[in-house]
Amino acid sequence: MALLETVRGPARLRELTLDELTALAGEIRTFLIDRVSATGGHLGPNLGVVELTIALHTVFDSPRDRLLWDTGHQSYVHKILTGRQAGFARLRKSDGLSGYPSQAESEHDLVENSHASTALSYADGLARADAHLGRTDRAVVAVIGDGAMTGGMAWEALNNIAGGPDRPLVIVLNDNERSYAPTVGGFAEHLADLRAGNGPGVFGRFGLDYIGPVDGHDIEAVQDALRQARAAGCPVVVHVITAKGRGFEHTENNELDLGHAIKPMDPQTGQALGKSTPSFTSVFASTLVELAEQRPDLVAITAAMTEPTGLLALQRRLPDRVVDVGIAEQHAVTMAAGLSMGGVHPVVAIYSTFVNRALDQLLMDVALHRRPVTFVLDRSGVTGDDGPSHNGMWDLSVLQVVPGLRIAAPRDGTRLAELLREAVAWSEGPTLLRFPKGPAGDDIPAVTTFGGMDVLRRDGSLDVMIVAVGALATLALAVADGVRAQGIGVTVVDPRWVTPVNPALADMARRHRLAITVEDNSRTGGVGSAVAQTLRDNGVGTPMREFGIPRRFLGHGSRAEVLAACGLTAQDISRAVVELVADLDAEPAPDGVELDAEGSTW
């Protein structure tokens, strides 16, 4: 029987010899390659922490000892060793394992942490709580990658950990010289000095004990370092050197990201399975290169995500026009404000879920100064398999409060290119484009325009106006088909720029019996809420209904599954609209109101 088949929890590891643990590491790598190749997921980071995770679970007693993973995508081996092997058949799928730690899955997962640079703050709080309660029977361990150490929050935590009274806390610095891509900045250079054996450096100057560097693929060496750190009774940094993607030729030889996040692939060839179609990200990438070649003042900024946000093509074409600040979204945005003040037009490319971290900077450093900075939010709306922390379902709610910010939601690739050109041409303040993860799909042409908006469908009498937000235009058109099949007239309009709300929407809504909005953002404070407010402000009494994401965290699954769970399907929305129209038909029209006749024009 393979050793891995006998592991149902961490206690089993403490029964194995060093040779058996080494053999187990090989079995785990084989298991990871087989399972993650089939489902997709974060393969490279987990191949790099196999021995480290084994050592952690032999030295510490989880869940009594608390193990925290920053950013959480390197927790697959932890899941295997805590009895969740069977769940890998449906990794990142509905009703399967999350790709990150999950409290619902296991008592061994304390923090559902998939945003970087946070584990040290959690750990500081846990250690302080134990000290406050007089508990001395358990340890706190935070595993943080060197890439996450480029985030300011990690240094805020270190400042407080080192500045307080001694408390048992083990900080495992997993140094593989990368986050998604190679780690950038002065700290990366400092770690290179530490790897060369040039003393404790910055950690010693902070007053922290330092152990290392340690070969992270030598189980015994890591165990010895962790035992020494545990016995110290004070905050200790254990500097562990690992190799991302270790043990699999197709990740070791991928210089770009070492298999950071793979799609389902053939493990023999390393080739992705399924068709590759143009994505919103790829359309943005090619359009930005064209614009940068036309405009020498354009500079792109990313927070450690050059390739995923579509900036790799520009970096290869014009390397001095891309700035990677590391995992430092706040700095990225305020630096963009400074660039703009200096005569440069910055394009800040970032995941929607991560822009939440830089709201204050966008509000006070960019918008207050009316700086023409363009933000491009990838992974907006429902991302699906990455789970609740990665859905970009808040950007429209959060950012609509920013004065002077213009927000566009392109419905297809052609509109993305058009709107990006409009955005960088705007000089009176900040602009923002948001689009989802995945294929851009077929272009959806407009049948006419009205007040600067695209009318995508005009069919029958003026019964229902559907406001389609961004990539949900396809869904809105399917809803229109379902509604029209019941003899109800329908108009589908894409505002293109959704914030501020185009006043023409109020004029159009006034001519219809019912208005609805369809968006892949929270219904709370989303586009629908803004449109409803605009109708009220303009004295438009047309009944309105907003369709969007409910105010709750969404589980992982495919994008279609998550949208369906939110009621965002053509069948669900069409049924609701038909019922709403039926309710209107049952009510007498107010005195003095006549509906426009079928075929009337605007």
Mean pLDDT of 116-140: 94
Between 101-110, 183-192, 240-249, 446-455, the lowest mean confidence (pLDDT) is in: 183-192
Say whether 57 counts as a known binding-site residue: no
Closest C-alpha among 541, 549, 485 to residue 514? 541
State percent of the chain over pLDDT 90: 74
139 has pLDDT over 50: yes
Say whether 114 counts as a known binding-site residue: yes
For this structure, is 458 an active site residue? no
601 has pLDDT over 70: no
Give the pLDDT score at 94.
Answer: 84
Q: Which two tokens stand for residue 267?
A: 């493990």
For this structure, is 244 an active site residue? yes
| Whether 47 and 177 share a structural domain | yes
CA–CA separation, 67 vs 413, rounded Å? 43
Structural domain includes residue 592: no
The highest-confidence range among 20-24, 251-255, 388-392, by mean pLDDT, is 20-24
Catalytic residue chosen out of the listed positions 29, 92, 321, 329: 329
Which secondary structure element, helix H or strand E, spans residue 69, and what is its range?
strand 66-70
| Whether 560 and 413 share a structural domain | no
pTM: 0.91
Give the pLDDT score at 593.
Answer: 38
Structural domain includes residue 207: yes
Structural domain includes residue 265: no
| Whether 397 and 488 share a structural domain | no
492-531 confidence digits (pLDDT tens): 999 999 999 999 999 999 999 999 999 999 999 999 999 9
Cβ contact 331:363 at 8 Å: no
| Whether 499 and 550 share a structural domain | yes
When the pLDDT of each residue in the chain is averaged and rounded to a whole number, the result is: 91
Catalytic residue chosen out of the listed positions 357, 437, 457, 523: 357
489-499 confidence digits (pLDDT tens): 999 999 999 99
Give the pLDDT score at 96.
Answer: 87
588 has pLDDT over 80: no
Mean pLDDT of 33-49: 91
| Whether 10 and 159 share a structural domain | yes
Side chain identity, residue 575: R
| Whether 294 and 416 share a structural domain | yes
For this structure, is 561 an active site residue? no
CA–CA separation, 367 vs 354, rounded Å? 18
pLDDT band per the 50, 70, 90 thresholds, residue 459 = very high
| Whether 170 and 21 share a structural domain | yes
| Whether 201 and 155 share a structural domain | yes
Structural domain includes residue 441: no
On the 0-12 / 13-18 / 19+ scale of CB atoms within 10 A, 538 is middle
152-170 confidence digits (pLDDT tens): 999 999 999 987 778 899 9
Say whether 248 counts as a known binding-site residue: yes
59-101 confidence digits (pLDDT tens): 999 999 999 999 888 999 999 999 999 999 999 988 889 988 9
| Whether 137 and 61 share a structural domain | yes
Say whether 215 counts as a known binding-site residue: no
595 has pLDDT over 90: no
Cβ contact 530:523 at 8 Å: no
Structural domain includes residue 595: no
Q: Structural domain of residue 553, as residue ranges?
A: 448-586
The DSSP string of 384-412 is -TT-TTT-B-SHHHHHTTSTT-EEE--SS
Closest C-alpha among 305, 89, 17 to residue 182? 305
363 has pLDDT over 90: yes
pLDDT band per the 50, 70, 90 thresholds, residue 260 = confident
| Whether 341 and 460 share a structural domain | no
| Whether 82 and 178 share a structural domain | yes
| Whether 13 and 75 share a structural domain | yes
Say whether 313 counts as a known binding-site residue: no
pLDDT band per the 50, 70, 90 thresholds, residue 180 = low
Say whether 148 counts as a known binding-site residue: yes
Say whether 147 counts as a known binding-site residue: yes
Give the pLDDT score at 113.
Answer: 67
Say whether 37 counts as a known binding-site residue: no
Say whether 512 counts as a known binding-site residue: no
Overall domain count for the chain: 3
Closest C-alpha among 205, 55, 276, 231 to residue 136? 231
Catalytic residue chosen out of the listed positions 66, 79, 84, 244: 244
Q: Which two tokens stand for residue 96?
A: 């399967």
The maximal CA–CA distance of the chain, rounded, in angstroms, is: 88
